[in-house]
Structure formats: structure tokens, C-alpha cells
Structure 1
């Protein structure tokens, strides 16, 4: 098992052993397992998904929306640090849809590279929050 910590500026959101952790990075999603090679990398805005045990179904995975961050892995443990981490319990689907619409509008109307970059970050994070809300809705029926 890999010990995984997910830490935001508001505290620890997850701190437990996991069989598999899916992390969004700038180069795409990476899967972390026990004995993963040591790594420090930039995390991208998106969804972190955690499978606690080998036989757990996709429906039993825990999902968190993150605004990006940094991942550190040493083989036996991994830590993801992010400014914003949202659990499925914290996401309101209607609010996430409204935030996504606002982010799309900001991307469309961005003037300058910095504004465009910030708007795209907001777009990716809002999209991740909506995905987390939909995971919760789909698996709590």
C-alpha cells in the first residue's frame, strides 16, 4: 500500500493508505502505486481519484477536485499539496455548473496572456468540481 496525503491550505483532506491514486499532471494523468519511482512534479487542475484496496470498484473510489499543486512521491508515500481541494461532499452541482459557465466566459473574453492563463486554470478547476459532483451523484443512487 502507498500512504497518500492530500493537503490544502485549509488542512489535510485525505491521509490514509491507498492501493492506487490517480493524479492530474501537466503531461496527463499518472497512476501511483506502492513502490512508484521517486518523483516531484507539478500537478494540474483536475480530479484526484483514490482506490483504497485492490478489489475496490471504480464506484467506490474517492474523488477530489484540485486547483493544481505539487506531487512528491518516495515509493512508500506520496503527498499532493494544493491551494484548493474540494471533496465530493463540498461540491454543489448547480454552483459548479455556474462556475464553469463563468470560467468559459472569462476564457472567451480574456485580454492578455496572464488573464487567459488564470481563466483557463479556473475553467479546469470548475470542470473538475463538476466531475466530482457527478461522480457523487452517479454512485450515491
Structure 2
């Protein structure tokens, strides 16, 4: 077992002893067990699956962030966390369409293009997770 903290700018979302954590990173989906090697990596939008010490499994959607694995403590600092059944699919579809429209327009700076690509990826993943749950 190890301690997991999931933190957003609004505060701590989850804190507790866990058996395993599965999360999507820039390098793909990874599973973290006790005594995992030291790791610092970027989190990308996807499902966060937490297998708690008591056997309960908790699944949430997360957006971008940083994962820090150090000994018996794992910290996921993420921009946003959603319960899967609380994702507003209609709002995410609007965000997706706006991002696609911006990406098709001319004259975007490199930073603007990167911003809208991230926004598009975020919306696509959240829509996928929300509709898969139904």
C-alpha cells in the first residue's frame, strides 16, 4: 500500500491508502503499485482508476497535470477532476466544436494552436469517458 493524493487548484480531491493507481500519461496509460520506481511525468486527459486499500475502486476523469511518484507517496496534481457521471457532455461538445473551428482558422500563433489542440483533446476524452459510462 502507498499514499495517494489527487490535488486540483481548488483543493484535495482524494487522499488515502491505495493498492494501485492507473492513470494516463504523456507516454500512455501506466499502473502504479507499491515500491514503484521514482517517476515525474505529465498527466494527459483520461481515466484515473484508484484501487483503494479497502478493496473499493474509484474511477474519475482527469485533465492535464503532473504525476510525482516518490517512495510510498504518489501525488497527482491535475487541472480538473470529474466524476464520470457528472461530465456535461453538451458543454464538452460545444468546447470541442469551438476548438476545431479555431484550429481550422488562419493566423493562429504556435501557442494558440497548442492551446486549442489541448482543449480539443480534453473535450474528446471527456466526451468519450462520459458516453462510455452510459
Note the aligned Cα RMSD (angstroms). 2.4
Give ranges in structure 1 of 5+ residues lacking alignment: none
TM-score normalized by structure 2? 0.81
Counterpart position of 1:22: 22
Shift of 1:13: 1.4
Structure 2 counterpart of 1:96: 92
Separation in 2 of the partners of 1:106 and 1:87?
28
Are 2:35 and 2:72, in contact at CA under 8 Å, matched by a contact in 1?
A: yes
CA distance in 1, matches of 2:128, 2:52: 20
Give me the TM-score of the superposition, normalised by structure 1.
0.78
How many correspondences in the alignment?
133
Equivalent position of 1:44 in the other structure: 44
Uncovered stretches (5+) of structure 2, i.e. residues with no partner: none
Report if aligned partners of 1:26, 1:44 keep a CA contact under 8 Å in 2: yes
Give the conservation status (yes or no) of the 8 Å contact 1:46–1:127: no
- Alpha-carbon shift at residue 126 of structure 1 (Å): 1.3
Q: Does 1:75 align with 2:71?
A: yes
Cα pair 1:2 1:34 within 8 Å, conserved: yes
Separation in 1, partners of 2:81, 2:102: 22
Q: Does the CA contact (< 8 Å) of 2:39 and 2:67 recur in 1?
A: yes
CA distance in 2, matches of 1:20, 1:135: 22
Matches within 5 A, 1:1-141: 1-52=1-52, 61-66=58-63, 68-109=64-105, 111-137=108-134
Secondary structure in 1 matching 2:15: strand
